[in-house]
Structure 1
Amino acid sequence: MLIVSVTFHEFGHAYVAHRLGDDTPSRQGRVTLSPVAHADLIGTVILPLVSALYAAAGSGFGGFGWGRPVQTNPIRYTRRFSMATGQMFVALAGPSMNVLLAVIFALTHVLLRKANVLSDTSDLNRVLFLAVSMNFTLFFFNLVPVPPLDGGWVARRFIPTRHEGTFNSVATYGPFIIMAVVMIPVLAQVFIIPARFCFENLYRGLGALLL
């Protein structure tokens, strides 16, 4: 399920960059839903395993990661938007795909439950719950405003010029900050709490809508 989520996430980046006029993702074979094209050794293999082990031990949050970053050339973006705005659109495209997947999985889950196809103990019931939770978690995790996460590019769009130096200095420690957020439970709440809020309210809303 993580592979599906990461694949759609990276495809979102590649597709929007392509639509903005940059052919770099297309030439590199990234405008595709093939998981192989988007897999990353650390983000798709190593980190998910490590975080899952931490979760099994009762510390940290397990079951997420990232794909191989999509390379884009903002100079090629359409001039309908500023370069910084184009970069922001591309950055937001990935997390947006995770929200779309969460809604699709939740709707499928609720419809199957309404049709009495799923039981509380079925494997598919657990998988769909996990898929919705994981995609909301990926959405908020990626919006943490620390480079190289997508939220870092969004934040960069709104950073005043006089503070760019400070932001860039913090960005050099980005990977270490991200690992701390992932592995330290109290810090992980910055994305787990809003993910849980969206998870619960989406199911509550769909349940009421489909009564």
Structure 2
Amino acid sequence: MQGIHLGNVVLGFVAFLFSLCVHEFAHAWTTERFGDDTGRYQGRITLDPRAHIDPIGSILFPLLGLIGGGFIFGWAKPVEVNPNRWKNKVVANIVVSAAGPISNLLLALGAVLLLKLLVVTGGVGRGDVLSMFSGHELANPQALLGLAEPVLIFLRMMIVVNLLLAVFNMLPIPPLDGSHILSSLLSVVSVPLMEAYESLRPYGFFIIILASLTGLLSQIYLPLMRFFLVLLFSLL
């Protein structure tokens, strides 16, 4: 498949938007487990996109990335939390922050298991699955009553998008989820070290942009994505 296809853009956008909603839902649902119901009062414990989307981060940026065929980048409205209501602040901050990326890993795993089911039941061949991930045409495009290609494209996007969201958000750069985890760990090891790290938070966005422009960001997350892809595809 060469060039940009409208169908691929639509499938990719749906996969990305759904994955963002699950990510934010996981944060809101998990923080309530620790005694903070802020997310529920703000209507964030839902998969309804209207509760989570940011017009720029959830629509414009992802569509531009998909149309341009490049890096898919975007964000949803962050779930607000009230740490004062958490029963165990350190553990809660770590678990609540990790909930979003973990939900994305589970979505990626679910997509791989669906691919496995299709292969086992004979809906598609294992070669078709591998071909889609290597950018080649399907060996049997009429499989699944002619729906093999869009189904595999969607599942491929679900895997790639969710691994990207999981890996990217776990990076310890403010305001990403990984920064809250690292900050909580540092608060146990050394409060002054945690405070020094927290002083970088206002500059987090610029750090991300600089790391992206210099190629440092891709050098970090691409090997991690490859690791998870190999791990997931070992299940096929």
Query: Which TM-score bucket, shorter chain as reference?
Result: 0.7 to 0.9
CA distance in 1 between counterparts of 2:118 and 2:102 reads 24
SS at match of 1:92: helix
Q: CA deviation at 1:65?
A: 2.1
Structure 2: 5+ residue runs without aligned partners? 1-14, 129-137, 139-148
CA distance in 2 between counterparts of 1:47 and 1:169 reads 28
CA distance in 2 between counterparts of 1:189 and 1:49 reads 24
Q: 1:42 to 1:84 in 2, by over 3 A?
A: farther
- 1:19 corresponds in structure 2 to 33
Amino acid at match of 2:79: V
- 2:185 corresponds in structure 1 to 158
- 1:95 corresponds in structure 2 to 101
Q: 1:47 to 1:185 in 2, by over 3 A?
A: farther
Matches within 5 A, 1:1-211: 1-52=15-66, 56=69, 62-78=71-87, 81=88, 83-118=89-124, 120=128, 121=138, 122-159=149-186, 160-182=190-212, 184-204=214-234, 206-207=235-236
Q: CA deviation at 1:26?
A: 0.5
Q: 1:44 to 1:181 in 2, by over 3 A?
A: farther
Give the conservation status (yes or no) of the 8 Å contact 2:24–2:100.
Answer: yes
Tell which deviates more after alignment, 119-128 or 175-184: 175-184
Q: CA deviation at 1:7?
A: 0.5
Q: TM-score, normalised by structure 1?
A: 0.86
Amino acid at match of 2:169: N
- 2:9 corresponds in structure 1 to none
CA distance in 2 between counterparts of 1:163 and 1:104 reads 39
Q: CA deviation at 1:192?
A: 1.9
CA distance in 1 between counterparts of 2:79 and 2:46 reads 12
Give the conservation status (yes or no) of the 8 Å contact 1:118–1:124.
Answer: no
* Aligned length, in residue pairs: 198
CA distance in 2 between counterparts of 1:131 and 1:22 reads 30
SS at match of 1:173: helix
- 1:143-172 CA deviation, whole Å, 9 max, x = no partner? 110111000100101222122332122211
Amino acid at match of 1:17: T
Runs of 4+ in 1 over 6 A off after TM superposition: none
Q: Aligned-residue CA RMSD in angstroms?
A: 1.9
Q: 1:40 to 1:182 in 2, by over 3 A?
A: farther
Q: CA deviation at 1:182?
A: 4.3
> Identity percentage over the alignment?
34
Give the conservation status (yes or no) of the 8 Å contact 1:133–1:196.
Answer: no
Q: TM-score, normalised by structure 2?
A: 0.77
Amino acid at match of 1:70: V
- 1:104-130 CA deviation, whole Å, 9 max, x = no partner? 011001211222223633121122122
